[in-house]
Amino acid sequence: MLVFLADLHLTDGTVRDSLAVDAVDWLARQLSAAAEEASYRRDGSYRPIDRLDLVLLGDVLDFLATDRWTARSSVRPWLPPDSPGLFAQLSRIAEAILRHNEPIVDFFAQLRRQGVGVPPLLRTRSPNDAECDYVPVIVHYVVGERDWFLHLPGAAYDRLREMVGSAFGVAQPFEAPFPHEMIEDAILLDALRRHKVAARHGDAFDPFCYAGDRDSASIFDVFVVELLVRFQASLQRELGDFLDESLTARIRRIHHVYPAVAAPAWLDGILQAACLPPRLQRAIESVWDSCCDEFLRHERVAAWLDEGDRGTRRRLMRLLRFSSRPARDWWKKLIAWHRRLRGAESDSFVVHALAEQDFRNRRAKHIVYAHRRENEIVPLEASFADGYVLDQVFYQTAGWATVESSARLARAHAEPVAFDVRQLPVFFQGDEASGRPFVVSTAVLGRRRGMVRREPAVAKRTMQSADRQGSAAVHGAEAVPQPHFSTAAERRETSPDADSSVERPASQTNEATE
């Protein structure tokens, strides 16, 4: 049995929220259920499988989304690998990530010690549900654009691999780079070939995230560190006293946006949905534009803009700024720009799956990619010869990500709605799972919400009252629609049984906190 787990994006929690704790329980249940299903054979008997191969398909650790690059060091991830301080910085980040995500690290430690539990075999060749046997788990690690440092060669990075690999029980030797391509690791390649699967993270098909060599940084590294992370720090430094916790929590989700270049349009939708005073919204936009200008002046960015299709790349300079944003469809135009950069007509990676060597020589029945935040299953080919059927299918897994989708009713602004997606593609070999070739388990969870009221004025500074009056004058009191829903406080106030002696909070509410 072969299982893929991608895009966990485990962070140190400084600028981006990490994986929810309850995700560990869901993963444990799914692995156990899949292992039990795999133990049922085509002839109807039950025989526990002898091993489970678990592939961590890239971006398990997020080395980029942390304030340690900008707030505590002059070291940057795009420096040469042997630069003084780079390995030490990466080690500190890895330690912080593992410490911040202790529940999932403990779960992998348990997998390493005892494996996945399944009912044992009775003499009747049926499962004994009252007891439990354990199937050993073999963990494989593949790197993506956020954890590519584990692909760097050298003794120093062997120690980094040992730190991460030991925490996750990785089977690959730490003395060799963790693979980016499946042919780079014999243990991984054997597991994939036994299940007739070809797999990769998928960042190699995104020029924004891949510069042709996985031992070097891409422009994405600069974008995350020098724009997204720096924007969050500048926003807190300059306007932190004016921002409530709800808005701050939503802005932390900027790292979930895919493609990353759509971040300013996503931010525009967040600000519009928050109904901020115009002066505060303009101030936030100004902070973004200031950070954007610094990003565009960065020497690596300037060099990147002059490469390849200069017209396409330089158009990004206009699309990233609030001051030069289009009047409509900002989100769509940024998505279209990213497609042009990839030389693609759609967001799908299916065209790359058709070019995979293992697809063309029919060695692989299943092609699996991650990286994108969408689920996609596409039949590629169906071959019939001498009573033998070969179906070849492409699987695009959203991994374990928060998906930010633009609301259909959004007009001038792409107001985003977020969902937590957990997906676990499972592939079987031989007579496992009664001969079934694969199962894809998916859970789409609504984000936890809670109404957070504005804090008293003494706790947070507010913009000048003149600006609020100006806002009312601009929009007009009658022109501002009231919410189509009532708050809990409003319902209590209108209830005939309400206790008038109880002091009630203000009726004005914030955006739902994440």
pLDDT tens readout for residues 50-63: 999 999 999 999 99
pLDDT digits (tens, 9 = 90+) for 95-113: 999 999 999 999 999 999 9
Q: Tell me, yes or no, whether 337 and 426 share the same domain.
A: no
pLDDT digits (tens, 9 = 90+) for 195-248: 999 999 999 999 999 999 999 999 999 999 999 999 999 999 999 999 999 999
Q: Tell me, yes or no, whether 242 and 114 share the same domain.
A: no
Residue 321 lies in a domain: yes
Strand partners, 402: 420
Residue 480 lies in a domain: no
| pLDDT over threshold 50, residue 418 | yes
Q: What percentage of the chain carries pLDDT values higher than 90?
A: 70
Residue 431 — φ and ψ, nearest 5°? -95, 15
Q: Output the pLDDT for position 265.
A: 94
Q: What is the mean pLDDT of residues 493-502?
A: 43
Residue with tokens 């989700």: 253
Q: Which H, E and C letters describe 273-305, residue by residue? A: HHCCCHHHHHHHHHHHHHHHHHHHHCHHHHHHH
Q: What is the mean pLDDT of residues 381-391?
A: 80
C-alpha pair distances (Å), 429 with each of 29, 182, 196:
21, 19, 8
Q: What is the mean pLDDT of residues 477-495?
A: 46
Q: Tell me, yes or no, whether 279 and 384 share the same domain.
A: no
Q: What is the mean pLDDT of residues 257-275?
A: 93
Q: Tell me, yes or no, whether 22 and 136 share the same domain.
A: yes
Q: What is the mean pLDDT of residues 73-90?
A: 95
| pLDDT over threshold 90, residue 451 | no
Q: Tell me, yes or no, whether 384 and 325 share the same domain.
A: no
What secondary structure letter does DSSP report for 40? Answer: B
DSSP codes, 296-347: HHSHHHHHHHTSS-HHHHHHHHHHT-STT--SS-HHHHHHHHHHHHHT-SSS
Q: Which residue has the higher pLDDT, 514 or 254?
A: 254
Residue 369 lies in a domain: yes
Where residue 509 falls among pLDDT bands split at 50, 70, 90? Answer: very low
First-to-last alpha carbon distance for the chain, in angstroms, is 36
Residue 119 — φ and ψ, nearest 5°? -65, 140
Residue 479 lies in a domain: no
Structure tokens that stand for 164 in this block: 């991460």
> 334 is in which domain, residue-wise?
219-342
pLDDT digits (tens, 9 = 90+) for 130-160: 578 899 999 999 999 999 999 999 999 999 9
Residue 409 lies in a domain: no
CA angle 279, 291, 270 (to 5 degrees): 50
Structure tokens that stand for 476 in this block: 């007009």
| pLDDT over threshold 80, residue 506 | no
Q: Tell me, yes or no, whether 11 and 151 share the same domain.
A: yes
Q: Tell me, yes or no, whether 153 and 247 share the same domain.
A: no
Residue 462 lies in a domain: no
Structural domain count of the chain: 2
In whole angstroms, what is the distance from residue 412 CA to residue 290 CA? 23
Q: Tell me, yes or no, whether 168 and 258 share the same domain.
A: no
Residue 333 — φ and ψ, nearest 5°? -70, -35
8 A C-beta contact, residue 63 and residue 147: yes
C-alpha pair distances (Å), 87 with each of 93, 170, 428:
10, 21, 39
Residue 497 lies in a domain: no
Beta-carbon count within 10 A of 304 CB: 18
Q: Tell me, yes or no, whether 71 and 104 share the same domain.
A: yes
Q: Tell me, yes or no, whether 277 and 426 share the same domain.
A: no
What global pTM score does this model have?
0.85
In whole angstroms, what is the distance from residue 158 CA to residue 170 CA? 13
pLDDT digits (tens, 9 = 90+) for 285-310: 999 999 999 999 999 999 998 887 77
| pLDDT over threshold 70, residue 275 | yes
Q: Output the pLDDT for position 122.
A: 62
Q: What is the mean pLDDT of residues 314-325?
A: 93
Q: Tell me, yes or no, whether 305 and 235 share the same domain.
A: yes
Q: Tell me, yes or no, whether 191 and 229 share the same domain.
A: no
